[in-house]
Amino acid sequence: MSETLAGALGVLPEELLAPPVLELVGVRASYGPIEVLHGVDLTVRAGQVVALLGPNGGGKSTTVKVACGLLPLTSGELRYGGRKVDGISAQDTARLGVCTIPEGRGIFANLSVRENLWLATGTGVSRAAIEEAAFGRFPILGDRRNQLAGSMSGGEQQMLALSRALATDPAVLLLDELSMGLAPMIVSQMYDTVAQLVEEGISVLVAEQFARTVLPIADVAAVMLQGRVTAVGSPAEIDADLSTTYLGG
């Protein structure tokens, strides 16, 4: 079957799809004795933005934590580029090209913008190169280079967090609630940036409670309910589903 025909029929055979960069297969994970992921299956392919949607407590953040090695899985498999990497440490994931912005953005409020960026030089990139990349992408960070990060707006802090993550030159970026606490205009700016990163070759998994903010830039959307992925499809399909399964819009 030709690629166009397969595409038109909506049934792309495996060999025509981009290779998977990140896979969770039957993943279970717990906090202490309480299991919260009950067999999660999720695939992010090269060059894709995958939106992970669903209501509070569904397991989105936990899935992101497992995917970047912050939380161990109790069973199932985590794979990077087709290779099993269960038991990997969060430090090793960065080396393998998977990078996350943790909840709360992971920036140091009492350090300046530049000092926060410098902390990313542990990955072998020079301070000058990190600053140039960050200030080139977000000129406002350049204007505020000596300001304490904690005194910046939420949007500026998110730009700083994103710049720090990008300093490691990741192949896969994991984002959790990029929109948290931000004005709608800033959210759409952040997602424009994400779309631009994808143009540059990064693959993205983004957990979002508010579907409408991320669906426009997503290639694939997945819905999580009670520790499982209950639906995967095109953004249009999932958008239609969402109004019936839960009110995320």
Ligand X SMILES: Nc1ncnc2c1ncn2[C@@H]1O[C@H](COP(=O)(O)OP(=O)(O)OP(=O)(O)O)[C@@H](O)[C@H]1O
Per the structure block, which two tokens stand in for 25? 């297969």
Distance CA 9, CA 247 (A): 30
Q: Which is nearer to ligand X, 52 or 94 (CB)?
A: 52
Residue 58 within binding range of ligand X, rule CB under 6 A:
yes
CB 51 within 8 Å of CB 61: no
The residue (of 60 and 105) whose beta carbon lies closer to Mg ion is: 60
**248 contacts ligand X (rule: CB under 6 A):** no
Q: Which two tokens stand for residue 111?
A: 């350090």
DSSP 141: H
Provide the strand spans (E) within the chain.
20-31, 34-45, 49-53, 75-80, 83-84, 98-101, 172-176, 203-207, 220-225, 228-233
| 3-class secondary-structure state, position 31 | strand
The one-character DSSP state at 60 is H
Nearer to Mg ion, 36 or 44 (CB): 36
The pairing of strands 172-176 and 98-101 is parallel
Q: Which of 37, 52, 58, 61 binds Mg ion (CB under 5 A)?
A: 61
| Shortest Cβ 38–ligand X spacing (Å) | 11
Question: Which of Mg ion, ligand X, none does residue 209 bind to, with CB < 5 to 8 Å depending on kind?
Answer: ligand X
| 31 contacts ligand X (rule: CB under 6 A) | yes
Joined tokens for residue 26: 């039957």
Partner from Mg ion, ligand X, none contacting 56, C-beta within 5 to 8 A by type:
ligand X
By CB under 6 A, name the one of 62, 158, 179, 193 that touches ligand X: 62
Question: Which residue stretch of 52-60, 143-151, 212-220, 232-240 sits at the interface with ligand X (rule: CB under 6 A)?
Answer: 52-60
Q: Pick the binder of ligand X from 43, 48, 61, 157 (CB under 6 A).
A: 61
- The minimum distance between CB 104 and ligand X, in angstroms, equals 12
Collapse the DSSP code of 77 into the 3-class scheme (helix H, G, I; strand E, B; otherwise coil) and give the result.
strand
Q: Which residue is nearest to Mg ion (CB)?
A: 61
| DSSP H or E segment with residue 12 | none
Question: By CB under 5 A, is residue 179 in contact with Mg ion?
Answer: no
Binding site for ligand X (CB under 6 A): 31, 36, 54, 56-62, 209
